[in-house]
Amino acid sequence: MALSETEVARWSRQLLLPGMGEASQELLRGARVRVTGGGLATAPAIYYLAAAGVGTIWIEDSDPVTPGCGAGFALGPEDEGRAKGAALVEFGRWASGFLAADPYRAGSRPTALVVCGSSLDVSRAIADEARLLRLPHVVADVDGQGGAVTTVPVGSPCYSCGSRPGLGAAPTAEGGAAMGALAALELVLLLTGASTEPRARRIEVFRGTPLVRATARQAGCACAGPAAAGLAP
């Protein structure tokens, strides 16, 4: 369905970007993105997905809002004690009147995931679930004031294959904001087909310097199985 007058007005600047147009904006509007993992990149990722015109975001975060929980980007002291997922749903609705934001419910069928794990183990587990469900996903690792974002198109080297140890520094809100924004951008490029090769890639941002490299499959990884070759049902 074509964009409405109000949608054209709302996304006018983005509609002028190279690689973007009415068709890409429609793809974003039709996307259903599950944002999950409970890490510091969550709120910024929600904000930038909403600002890009993603139509539906399902948020999964069962922790309560606490001081220093990293939701300061989105939430204030008045939210402390509330369920973070519900508060972030409200934040998403505030970020864009065009967005349907809701808590993620088991059995929902997202078209893509943004994984903002509170630890690498959490991210690995969710990313593996996304791989098995054959859903494109982007993983944000926050590491100190930077971190890394791994983009995993369907059938490409998995997050475990693509990631490698970083500095191992304590995550900061600044790192969360940067990696959340970058993860949202990577997913927008992936969903609209506007990203350039290599699409399966990892962007590392340490000490302010970004490094982009194609991800490669590790020998013996489960992601090299029939699902990766597109042979699974």
Partner 1 sequence: MIPAVHLDLRAHACPITWVKARIALSRLAPGEVLELLLRDGEARENIPRSAEEEGHEVLRLAPAPEEGPGAWRAWLARGASGEVPSWP
x/- track of binding to partner 1 for residues 55-94 (CB under 8 A) = ----------------------------------------
Cβ 228 to Zn ion, closest distance in Å? 8
State the Cα angle at 76 between 65 and 108, rounded to 5°.
50
The answer to whether 161 touches 218, Cβ cutoff 8 Å, is: yes
Question: Closest Cα partner for 60 from 13, 4, 2, 130?
Answer: 130
Phi and psi torsions of 209, nearest 5°: -105, 115
Q: Both ends of the chain: CA-CA distance in Å?
A: 30
Among 27, 181, 223, 228, which residue interacts with Zn ion (rule: CB under 5 A)?
223
Interface residue with partner 1 among 77, 106, 107, 196 (CB under 8 A) is 196
Q: Is 210 in the site for partner 1 (CB under 8 A)?
A: no
113 in Cβ contact with 126 (< 8 Å): yes
Find the part of the chain contacting Zn ion (CB under 5 A) among 59-67, 165-173, 199-207, 213-221: 213-221
Amino acid at the residue 36: T
**Binds Zn ion by CB under 5 A, chosen from 40, 158, 188, 228:** 158
* 194 lines the binding site for partner 1 (CB under 8 A): yes
| Residues of the shown chain interacting with partner 1 in the complex, contacts defined by CB under 8 A | 2-3, 8-9, 12-13, 15-16, 18-24, 194, 196
